[in-house]
Amino acid sequence: MALKNLLVLVVLLGIVGVSLANPYGNPLRKQNGQRNPKMQGDLDLDYYRSTCPQVETIVRRVTFQYVSRRPTLAAALLRMHFHDCFVRGCDGSILLKSPFKDAERDAVPNLSVRGYEVVDAAKSALDRIKGCRGAVSCADVLALVARDAVAVIGGPWWPVPLGRRDGRISKLSEVNLPSPFSDVKTLKKNFLDKGLNTKDLVVLSGAHTIGVSSCAIINNRIHNFTGRGDFDPAMNPSYVRALKKRCKPTDFKTPVDMDPGSAKKFDSHYFNIVAQKKGLFTSDATLLDDLDTNLYIQAQVLTRGASFNRDFSESMVKLGFVEILTGKQGEVRRKCAFVN
């Protein structure tokens, strides 16, 4: 590497706080030499030790059975966990059904969420084990399933402290998720409102390295951005030409990879794509408009994602603490789709 690039890299790493050492380090720091420290918010890595010590093994086995056969479920289950945590916190409220079709899962952004059968299967498997039956919350099952699904396809692993309780409320009207059409200022506020910072925003956006969207989300960006038959100038023209071949103006169904060239592999390639102005969504492209998020992207490109897995693990641990219910709050649902 040329001296100039090395100097640039040192500056970038210093600003964004990237460490090249131990990229797979444990996000849960050891305290006083203890292996499994008690976590804030009453969550604990050993929460089910006395009731259901097999919980992680059982959930991992079920998740592997599903995701190994249908690898695209990894992106779907990770997305489900994210959508759950951003509305009423990580309380499993996205899993609830309503006879009136007015629950979270009925909101437009959640109509394409899938993988509910994996969570239900894991919950059922737990309920067949004495001690586990009725002990493990659906919110905890979802958090574990999301982690294990990513691991099945070769992505990073992160510890999941447990002890969440399930919420009893799920309202379509409360769904206000970060939008694929938002600018970086709006996204930063969305994340800050949930106790997540700018680094968490850009790191968790890296989840777009797996999965697909549809032509419906990007048609205006590529065909009629300002109403004059133009495309978004923030997009790479060659990428626009490729997308136009796949997505006709009236096409709202054809799937489109969020990370072209690497959509089935969990890696840092997403940041290369964004740096080349090939981010599929406005919310991807706008990460270049902020100094901190842009610098993080450039650092991942220059280091080939040296810290991405570790950073993603740390941000996922933080996400799992968003507005949790613990103790006597909420309940432990018998069936994940219905309150007790």
CA dist 90 and 266 (Å) reads 23
Question: What is the Cα 311 distance to its own chain's centre?
Answer: 13
14 is in an annotated binding site: no
CA dist 211 and 82 (Å) reads 14
C-alpha closest to that of 218 among 164, 256, 168, 171: 256
Helix (H) or strand (E) holding 295, with range, is helix 291-303
Write out the DSSP string of 87-134. Answer: TTSSSSGGG---TTS-SGGGSGGGTT---HHHHHHHHHHHHTSTTTTT
Residue 200: exposed, middle, or buried by beta-carbon count in 10 A (0-12, 13-18, 19+)? buried
91 is in an annotated binding site: yes
178 is in an annotated binding site: yes
81 is in an annotated binding site: no
3-class secondary-structure state, position 227: coil
10 is in an annotated binding site: no
- Active-site residues, by number, are 83
84 is in an annotated binding site: yes
8 is in an annotated binding site: no
Signed CA dihedral, 340, 82, 267, 114: sign only: positive
323 is in an annotated binding site: no
CA dist 161 and 176 (Å) reads 26
267 is in an annotated binding site: yes
* Residues making up the binding site for Ca(2+): 84, 87, 89, 91, 93, 104, 209, 259, 267
Question: Would you list which residues are annotated within the binding site?
Answer: 84, 87, 89, 91, 93, 104, 178, 208-209, 259, 267
Residues at the annotated binding site for heme b?
208
Q: Residues annotated in the binding site for substrate, as ranges? A: 178
